[in-house]
Amino acid sequence: MPSGNKDLRCSPQTKQLAIDTANFYMEDVGREGISRAELAAQTREIEQAQQRVQDGSRAGLDAEYAALNLAHEMPAQLPQIQEMAADLRRYQDVLVIGIGGSSLGAKALQQAVAPQPPLAGTPRLHFVENIDPFFLQGLLSSLDAGSTAVLCISKSGGTIETVVQYLILRDWLVRQLGGKNAIRHQWVITDPKRGWLRELAERDGLPSLPVPPQVGGRYSVLSAVGLVPLAVLGVDIETLLQGAADNAARCTNADVTANPALEIAALCVLLDTRRNKRTAVMMPYVNRLQLFVDWYCQLWAESLGKWDRSRPGSTPAGTLPVRAMGAVDQHSQLQMYLESRHDKFFTFIELETCEHDLPIPLDGFDVPHFPFLKGRSMAEVIDAEFHATRQVITDAGHPNMTIRLPVLNAHVLGQLIDLYQRTTIYAGLLYGINPLDQPSVEIGKRLAIDYLRGTPR
């Protein structure tokens, strides 16, 4: 039977995620949910998806789903990662150039779990992601080249936004420091053999680390791509990998009641294909998870938004991921969720233990206006808001699930990353599409180059 359980608590010993899928089911949320019979009818497809993942994960970093093996494979590479991080820590500012999967994961984890305030002696990290001359010019004018390092990250080693910004930054370093010195301020993370950036690293002798060829950009946060920037900041990357490994150990079964990633994937796909739920709203009640949701949005959209027209009778796959922040978006998006079309499902994320909670100080004038705040803390208010929003969403008949984080640390983030990478791959297999490629994005990239050549079609 499905494992949905409304009162599931996080285990204080293991600090495991508590995953509550009850409101995805018809018996809890009503007719817009999935019935247990519908899920049971998918058993064969679900078992096949699990078998595919299991078979496709057998060969370590050479496996088809190598991304799911990073938690076990990367510990062996931690000395090289820590060495690069130690070199970068000698600088005051580190510019991390990269886009999409080569940037979002590290950005998300920095926001979620980097030590606050920053550890003494750690540099400021600047993510140079989007092409925006105004931003880059402003950033450069605030930096001293002598104390700045450039870390260029690109799996393919040829992404135009990354290349352009790297070329501008390399030129800036050369003009400020001279050619020889400029080389000592540059590091590279890219494919071990292929691409312009790899060739450049070889030519100039730039220190570099590999992205495993089988690991695609948006699945690369647990490789050097995410681990180096995080290690620079002093994030406990070993614990991050351990968290991912612990979640992987929870997701080995072909039975959805004993594999949360498989259960979530199966329910999300059924909500789309059987209930016309086309939008997947993720709503964390934790500021520090705002960029995590952006990471999830990329993973979900780029992996699942596909249409395999070669299969007779196939239809478009994928649900549009949307970020809604609790409680802020109660004041912007919630009205639409409650009254507009029933074409959405929701994932709430809440935090069980809020460090640094703040009591609400009231004086005699305030109490008659806000008697319900007497003796309350800020965390209690956001908790009440989360419960209220989840209840109105449920009462409106919208399928929803909740992930409860025991705390927000590297171990828990590792679990969340593994959970969503796995869920996304299972969902792709259940849709019958390849969750690892992005063929249409590649078309756009080539066309942009045609525009630059002056030969658009």
Cβ-based nearer residue to ligand PA5, 19 or 228: 228
Least separation in angstroms between CB 332 and ligand PA5: 27
Cβ-based nearer residue to ligand PA5, 69 or 259: 69
Give me 8's structure tokens.
Answer: 């599931």
Total residues contacting ligand PA5 by CB under 6 A comes to 14
- Which residues lie below 8 Å from residue 68, measured CB to CB, with a gap of 6+? 53, 57, 248, 418, 421, 422, 425
Q: How many CB atoms lie within 10 A of CB 357?
A: 11
Cβ-based nearer residue to ligand PA5, 57 or 438: 438
C-alpha distances in angstroms, 5 versus 213, 299, 375?
Answer: 40, 27, 30
Q: Which of 42, 50, 259, 438 binds ligand PA5 (CB under 6 A)?
A: 438
Among the options 72, 126, 387, 445, which is catalytic? 445
- What's the N-to-C CA distance of the chain in angstroms? 54
C-alpha distances in angstroms, 259 versus 145, 215, 256, 263, 348?
Answer: 50, 23, 5, 6, 19
Least separation in angstroms between CB 241 and ligand PA5: 20
Residue whose structure tokens are 């990073």 = 70
Q: Which of 32, 246, 302, 418 binds ligand PA5 (CB under 6 A)?
A: 302
Q: Mark residues 340-379: x for contact with ligand PA5 by CB under 6 A, - for none.
A: ----------------------------------------
Distance CA(155)–CA(198), nearest Å, equals 10
Within 132-161, the residues that bind ligand PA5 by CB under 6 A are: 154-156, 159
Least separation in angstroms between CB 98 and ligand PA5: 6
The beta-carbon contacts of 448-457 under 8 Å, at least 24 apart in sequence, are 448/160, 449/160, 452/160
411 classed as catalytic:
no
Cβ-based nearer residue to ligand PA5, 219 or 345: 219
Q: Mark residues 47-86: x for contact with ligand PA5 by CB under 6 A, - for none.
A: ----------------------------------------
Cβ-based nearer residue to ligand PA5, 101 or 399: 101
Closest to 105 (Cα-Cα) out of 418, 434, 431, 422: 418
Distance CA(270)–CA(130), nearest Å, equals 35
Q: How many CB atoms lie within 10 A of CB 299?
A: 25
162 binds ligand PA5 (CB under 6 A): yes
Least separation in angstroms between CB 259 and ligand PA5: 25
Give me 115's structure tokens.
Answer: 């030590």
Strand partners, 210: 190
Q: Mark residues 196-225: x for contact with ligand PA5 by CB under 6 A, - for none.
A: --------------------xxx-------
Cβ-based nearer residue to ligand PA5, 165 or 389: 165
Contact in structure between 247 and 418 (CB atoms under 8 Å)? yes
302 classed as catalytic:
yes
**Residues, the chain, total?**
457
Cβ-based nearer residue to ligand PA5, 102 or 389: 102
Cβ-based nearer residue to ligand PA5, 213 or 432: 213
Closest to 269 (Cα-Cα) out of 257, 256, 259, 278: 278
Q: What are phi and psi of 317, to 5 degrees?
A: -105, 160
Closest to 275 (Cα-Cα) out of 398, 92, 406, 144: 398
Residue of closest CB approach to ligand PA5: 217
Least separation in angstroms between CB 262 and ligand PA5: 23
Among the options 32, 161, 302, 350, which is catalytic? 302
Closest to 413 (Cα-Cα) out of 205, 237, 189: 237
165 binds ligand PA5 (CB under 6 A): no
Q: In sequence order, which ranges of 89-159 are alpha helices (DSSP H)?
A: 104-113, 133-141
Least separation in angstroms between CB 163 and ligand PA5: 9
331 classed as catalytic:
yes
Within 83-102, the residues that bind ligand PA5 by CB under 6 A are: 99-102
107 binds ligand PA5 (CB under 6 A): no
Residue whose structure tokens are 């799996």 = 155
Among the options 180, 331, 356, 369, which is catalytic? 331
Q: Using CB under 6 A as the criterion, which residues of the chain lie in contact with ligand PA5 when the complex forms?
A: 99-102, 154-156, 159, 162, 216-218, 302, 438
Residues recognised as catalytic: 302, 331, 445
